[in-house]
Amino acid sequence: MSKHTVPPDALVVVADGAKAILLRNAGTGSDLSLKEERRITPKSLSAEGSQGPSGSRPGDQTVHQTEEATFAKQLADALYAMRHRGDYKQLVLIADPQTLGQMRECLHKEVEASMAFTLSKDYTNQSVADIEKALA
């Protein structure tokens, strides 16, 4: 049982280092009803003009780790752009521990201020129904 309540109309972002699922809570009051809005991949963010890290990759970091860190930064930037467009007022961020840590370093203060809560879990391979059960 979750100790957090997902606010009505909140944007729920479920992410890992390779993809993100954007869900909207269409429920009212304390009823949770998540509806998928879109899926984001590193390729889709690159097509939108998001930039990755500049400079060379640290020697102790694999290409895969660099790609995951780049995606975390791009997703944080996309959430900031969405906030400015008025796409959401409240945000719930659910990500695996590594991705969540990388994103926290990049999140703009306006995005942080809109956050209802974060959850350090990897639910990206779960169905929407299973995510609802985990948050209920």
**With contact defined as beta carbons under 8 Å apart, do 68 and 102 qualify?**
yes
Report pTM.
Answer: 0.84
CATH number for the domain whose boundaries are 11-135:
3.30.420
Question: What is the C-alpha to C-alpha distance for residues 97 and 1, in angstroms, rounded to an integer?
Answer: 20
Q: State residue 1's pLDDT score.
A: 43
pLDDT average, residue stretch 101-125: 95
Nearest of 6, 55, 60 to residue 32 by alpha carbon = 6
Mean pLDDT of the chain: 86
Alpha-carbon distances, residue 27 vs 43, 86, 131 (angstroms): 31, 19, 14
Q: Determine the length of the chain.
A: 136
pLDDT band, residue 10 (cuts 50/70/90): very high
In DSSP terms, 91 is beta-bridged to 11, 115
